[in-house]
Structure formats: structure tokens, C-alpha cells
A = this chain, B = another copy of it.
Amino acid sequence: MSDPIITLTTDFGEESAYVAAMKGVILSTNPAARILDLSHLIPPQDAWHAAFFLAEAIPFFPPQAIHVVVVDPGVGTERAVLYVEIESHQLLVPDNGVITLLARNRSATCRRVAEPRYWRPTVSATFHGRDIFAPIAAHLSLGVTPQQLGPSVTDWVQLSLPTPIFQHDGIAGEVLFVDHFGNLLTNLPVDRLPRQAFRLGIETVAGLPAREVQVRPVRTYGEGRAGELLALVSSGGFWEFALPNGNAARRFGVRRGTHLKVINAA
């Protein structure tokens, strides 16, 4: 059997020693652990971004991995640390909604981490990643059972997901996520993606009317022509807008939360 896998997803960046310290703590408890970086560039304290990230990444992992997620603006407060099983996946997360998207339409069980025996002897008020999350992950990888971590809970923080609105002249939605290439992942319903070219309204800054852009639905980026905005279903199942060989977010001044409207053909 292979050595156990512990993955790390944080907003710590790499300039500071936070991630390195967590790796040290994990290896001090279980020198055989295989540590895998998922990301340390979740935007600082952005639980929503982390939720999106996890939903796109965790389902592809084998069950034996233990996923540690430290995007934790509430560190040092009363927010709980959770051990979560979502289908066969195991995660350690702060209770701030980062599992919202991953747990949607999947069975999940949850425990509140409460047993200090598996923490570092001294727990700093500002760095639970090192003092609670890392040592617990290492202990789990050594065979400590979820039951030993703390009591079962049935309630946890959920982020509210914006829902698309069906209007008489179109569908209004918003940008959920802007990826590294400037592609726009949205909450528009993929089963309503038009088959023909259509007009998309894009919210602009205060006071200006929304601009309208011509969009062509395609199956792949490669079908697009330079400068043309494409609509397609993303690899994660979201309705996505992309500019072939360009950056749609930059071109149209769009960010997470920007409102969009698919305008019905007249």
C-alpha cells in the first residue's frame, strides 16, 4: 500500500513560512506522509473562492487522500474546525462554508474537532493551520479515526449561492469565478445555453448602461475566432464565457459578482 497522501489548500502564499511550517508539523508526526500542494494562492480569506476550488478539484482524488483546507479569516474565534466526509473524500476545514459547493448534491457527514490530544501542545491564537489542522491530518494518516477527533455535528456554515433569475426578456445571472485565463464561470443554467449566437448584457460601472456583446455558443475554445466571445460548458459543468487566446475578464472589465444577462432573441 502506498504512503498516505495529505493535500494542502491555503491562502498563505509562498513568501511567508506558513505553508512550510505546516509541512514540517505533518512530517514531524508522520514522516511517511506524502504532502501534495493543491494551491496556496486562494485569494486571502476568500472562502467562496476556496469553495469553488474544492468543488473543481476534490472529486478527482482517490478516497485515501486527506485534504487540509486553511482559508480561515475566523482563526482564533469560536468558529469550529470540521472533519468532513463528502462521499468518500475526507477534508479538514474551518467551518466557514468552504465545503458549500462540494457538498451540494452529495452526501456529507461532519465532526467538530474537539480533542486536543491530536493538536500541537501549544496552540497559537493565529495559526491553527500549523497547530490544529496539520497535526490532526498527520494523526488521521497514522490511523486515528474520525470518531476520536470530536463529536458528530449536523449543521455547518453554508455560503449562499446566487441563483439565476428568469425574466421575460432573458436570464439574469452573475460571474461566480474568473479563472487564470480570464475565463468567466457563471451561475447561468447550462441546460439553457442557446444553440445560436445571442446577445449578452454585461453590467458596467455605476451609472453606465450595461453593454451588449455578441456571443457564439461553441463546444471548444478552439472553434473560436480572435476577438470573439464564446459561450461553452466549462470542464466543471458551469456555463462559461471565454475569449480565444485572450482574457475576457480584462477585456470586458468583469470580475466575480458582475451581473450578466442572456438576452432572448427578439
Contacts and interface: CB of A to CB of B under 8 A. Distances in A.
Interface string A8-29: 0101111111111111110110
Contact of A219 (B73, B125, B234): B125
Nearest to A27: B62
A214 interface: no
Contact of A73 (B5, B130, B245): B245
A27 B74 contact: no
Given A21-B56, A57-B20, A234-B126, A222 B42 contact: no
Contact of A24 (B19, B49, B58): B58
A31 interface: yes
B44 A181 contact: yes
Contacts of A20: 7, 9, 38-39, 53, 56-57, 60
Contacts of A36: 23, 27, 35
A198 interface: no
B16 A222 contact: no
A45 interface: yes
A181 to B, nearest CB: 6
A235 B130 contact: yes
Interface of A: 2-3, 5, 7, 9, 11-25, 27-28, 31-32, 34-45, 49, 52-62, 64-65, 73-79, 124-127, 130-131, 177, 179-181, 219-223, 232, 234-236, 245, 247
Given A38-B23, A61-B27, A222 B77 contact: yes
Closest 5 CB pairs of A and B: A76-B220, A24-B60, A77-B222, A20-B57, A17-B56
B12 A222 contact: no
Given A20-B60, A24-B62, A75-B220, 4 more contacts: A17-B236, A18-B56, A77-B220, A126-B235
A65 B23 CA distance: 11
Contacts of A247: 44
16 contacts: A5-B27, A7-B23, A9-B20, A15-B42, A16-B56, A17-B39, A17-B57, A18-B56, A44-B181, A60-B130, A74-B222, A77-B222, A78-B222, A125-B232, A126-B221, A126-B232
Contacts of A232: 125-126
A76 to B, nearest CB: 3
A126 to B, nearest CB: 5
A31 to B, nearest CB: 5
A170 B21 CA distance: 34
